[in-house]
Structures are given as structure tokens and as C-alpha cells.
Structure 1
């Protein structure tokens, strides 16, 4: 009887439930991720979303390079020190107290699998498997509730989709495409992170 029970338990979903710790470890594994993105900003006042495209480089212990290609070209670097924008050949730090700065801090935490950082500000609900999961973030603090209703993140081995549902009715959908985690930083990227 105990062998039958053990066999049933081994195949039950509860025995191998995918949890936040496993998701954090999975997302924190890659040293460098390169990819493309499409960002759609859905504003209540506009019939069509504002769409921008570009590339990104996420490097463990360095941060995120966000390189906007269309509709205009602009490079951003997001790291523990804050957000910087490329101004010609140098990086210019942006003021850090904006709602955009908070969004970027959260974005970095999501991509790097920092669930402990997210749990300070959100209730997290994870569903799925390591190959196909959805993480729902519901804000806890009054300040964040004024900005977001909910954030939905989907992925597999890496994050593939992030949807920010804003309190005012607007939303942002970010699709991460062609992501690869087998290429090291090139010389230009190393230089950008070092500045």
C-alpha cells in the first residue's frame, strides 16, 4: 500500500509544483541574454497602440542595455545606479524619482528573476511549468496601486511577454523575441556597461 501511495504521489502535480524559487533560479541562470523587443503602448485616447522596436542586452551583475530602433533611435542603460541615456558618446544619468524609474527597476527585477525584490512590493501568483509559466504581480502599496492594477509576465526558459495594466486604463505590452543566452558580451557592450 505504501509503495502505491509513493508512486501516486510521485506523479501528482503537487509533488513537482513549479514555484517562485525555481522560477527565480531559472531566470537568474543565464549570464547574458540578447534579444529583440516590440513594445506596444495602448492609450485609451488613441485607436491604435504606439509601437516601438529595438534590441536588448541583459547582463548578470551589470544591468540592461535597451536600444530603441523605431520610431526613433535612443539607447538606455538600466542598472543598480539608475537609468542613463546615451548622449552622443557618453551616458547621462536621468532623474531617479519618476514613475518610469520605478517601472524600469521592476522590469530589471523581473528579467533577472529577483522574486524576493518583487515580493517587497507585490503579491506574486505563479502558474504553469518551467517551459510555460505565467506570473501575476498585484501591487501591495498604495503608491503602486495608483500606477498599476496588475502586471502579467509570461515565459519559458526566459521571459517572453510582459503586460503592464495601468490604474488609469492604459497598458503596455512588451514582447521579448529571438532571445538567446549563449553569446557573451561583445566589446562595445562591455564598454557601455563599464561607463
Structure 2
């Protein structure tokens, strides 16, 4: 489930104080965002933290392509109609609304996060948005309905021009910290290679 919230890296806005409505509007003006990420996961009972890294592409019209490169290759593709997870040497795992309705309902949540759609998010989360000054902001999501309130204790987002950090606290006492960096908004359309991933 930790991948389900990784697609918020697209949210952008200017340095002045903003509301969630303005945040959503500004995001809609960025058709494609590319970024690198690093992820650190702390698991109860394990002394060593789990680290991973890779890159992502978020297209407003096509979906999310999350590509983990370290410590092993893993690709996650999300569109309006399917979720495809691929690991090296294994057949792709495909989830649709028909073959797994409960899992696929998270796709609607991802779409809301992808568009910074706070009206949709408010159906599942209590939202606490704060302008921290000098262009910095935070958004804390506290689940208020099942099944999210059985999975996540809280999701914290921090950023400035772009979303820069996600802090996930789950109900098992584990935590995940994700850092986004090297964000790029050019070119504004998918490259031919990126289009192949979304159409495959």
C-alpha cells in the first residue's frame, strides 16, 4: 500500500500564501512532472531501515509511472483503468476494477491526490493545511473512514515550490519517509519512450 500515496509529487504552487483551492488550480497547470525520489522505511522489530530510490513521471492525462531502481528494479504504472506492478524476472501483476474492486478503489484516491482535489480527499481524510511562510507549506491527512483508517495513522506532506517530503505513519507502528528532488516540468508532454510505458 505504500505506493498508493507516492504520486502526490506533482503538486506545485508559487511562493505566496495559498489555499488548497489555489494549490489544486496551480497543479492543473503542470501537465507533466518528472522527479527523483529516495525512500526510507522503518519497520517495527527491525533495527536496520529499508532504503530505496528511483524516479517517477506524473502525467495529468496519462497517470503515474513509478520506477524504483535501488535496491532492486520495480515498476508501478497507474492509469484510470489499471494498476500494473512489474519486478525483474516476474510476470506483471495487473489490477483492474473488475478483478479486484477493493484494491482498485485506491485508484480513485490516487486521482484525488494527483489533482490535489481537496473536496475528494475530504471524503476520506481530515485535512490540516498550513502556510508556514516564505513559500513553505504542510498538509496533514488523517484518515476518517475505512479501509484507510485501518492502514494509516497519518500522512504528512511538506513542500515549497514542489512537494518535497511525505511522512507516512501506519497503524502497525511503521513509518515511511519519501523525499522528492530534481523536479522537472519540461518537456510539457511525454517523450516517445514515456508514452510507450503508459501504452504498454
In structure 2, the partner of 1:54 is 54
Deviates more, 1:110-119 or 1:169-178: 110-119
Q: Which structure carries more helix by proportion? A: 1
Give CA-to-partner distance per residue, 1:41-88, whole Å, 9 cap, x none. 111111222011001000011110001101111211012223102478
**Following superposition of structure 1 onto structure 2, how do residues 2-151 of structure 1 map, counting pairs within 5 Å?**
18-86=18-86, 92-94=93-95, 96=100, 106-128=109-131, 131-151=135-155
1:153 lines up with 2:157 in the alignment: yes
Number of equivalences: 178
Report the Cα offset of residue 28 of structure 1. 2.6
The 1:119–1:155 alpha-carbon spacing in structure 2 relative to 1, beyond 3 Å, is same
Query: How far apart, CA to CA, are the structure 1 residues paired with 2:44 and 2:57?
Result: 31
Report the Cα offset of residue 29 of structure 1. 2.0
Query: Is residue 164–residue 179 contact of structure 2 (8 Å, CA) maintained in 1?
Result: yes
The 1:69–1:104 alpha-carbon spacing in structure 2 relative to 1, beyond 3 Å, is farther
In structure 1, the partner of 2:196 is 191
Query: How far apart, CA to CA, are the structure 2 residues paired with 1:105 and 1:43?
Result: 27
TM-score by structure 2 length?
0.78
Query: Is residue 17–residue 135 contact of structure 2 (8 Å, CA) maintained in 1?
Result: no
Query: How far apart, CA to CA, are the structure 1 residues paired with 2:47 and 2:105?
Result: 27
Task: Give the CA RMSD over aligned residues.
Answer: 2.5
Report the Cα offset of residue 92 of structure 1. 4.4
Q: Which blocks of at least 5 consecutive residues in structure 2 are unaligned?
A: 1-15
